Amino acid sequence: MDNINWTCKAFYELSLDELYDILFLRQEVFVVEQDCPYIDTDYKDQKGWHICAHLDGVLVAYTRILPKGISYKDYASIGRVITSSKIRGKGIGRPLMEKSIQYTYQLLGKQQIKISAQNHLRKYYGSLGFVPVGEIYDEDGIPHIAMILGI
């Protein structure tokens, strides 16, 4: 995955085409592929940073970083974690999360990061240092668990 082009931009730095690509990928994976009809645009995008991985000019992976107080009162967060089905299983997920953690610390300072992880991915996130907290809960029909990095 040496040929991935990584970018990190605040919402208002995104071009219209970049924003369109992000929203398309989020809908493709979360709404269509995972069969979760929900409103993805939550008015949090404007307050965050958007980590994009492009391969040959095509958006193939993405996360959104939000400062403390937006998704969680006491935690920064990484969310909307997506890998396109076109590249899933080819090793981009770990670098995506590592970059996202690095950018979170760079932009917001070293602090605890909270995620809402699909429960079947808890071992994966655990391998990155995230620790589960609380009970499993339903989010749009998919079991999730809250996890925190930096406990």
| Number of C-beta neighbours around residue 4 at 10 A | 17
CATH code, domain with 30:
3.40.630.30
Residue 127 included in any domain: no
Interval 96-111: pLDDT, tens: 999 999 999 999 999 9
pLDDT computed for residue 111 by the predictor:
96
Residue 50 included in any domain: yes
Question: Tokens 């996202």 appear where?
Answer: 100
Residue 29 included in any domain: yes
The model carries a pTM of: 0.94
pLDDT computed for residue 1 by the predictor:
61
Residue 149 included in any domain: no
Contact 63, 100 (CB under 8 A): yes
Domain count, the chain: 1
pLDDT digit string (tens) for the chain, length 151 residues? 679 999 999 999 999 999 999 999 999 999 899 888 888 899 999 999 999 999 999 999 999 999 999 999 999 999 999 999 999 999 999 999 999 999 999 999 999 999 999 999 999 999 999 999 999 999 888 899 999 999 6
Domain span at residue 92? 4-110
Residue 148 included in any domain: no
Residue 115 included in any domain: no
Long-range contacts of 81-89 (CB under 8 A, 24+ apart): 81/115, 82/25, 82/26, 82/29, 82/30, 83/29, 84/25, 84/28, 84/29, 84/58, 84/59, 84/60, 85/28, 85/29, 85/33, 86/58, 86/60, 87/55, 87/60, 87/61
Tally of residues, the chain: 151
Query: Which amino acid is it at 69?
Result: G
Residue 132 included in any domain: no
Residue 38 included in any domain: yes
List residues bridging with 58 in a β-sheet.
Answer: 55
Q: Is 39 helix (H, G, I), strand (E, B) or coil?
A: coil
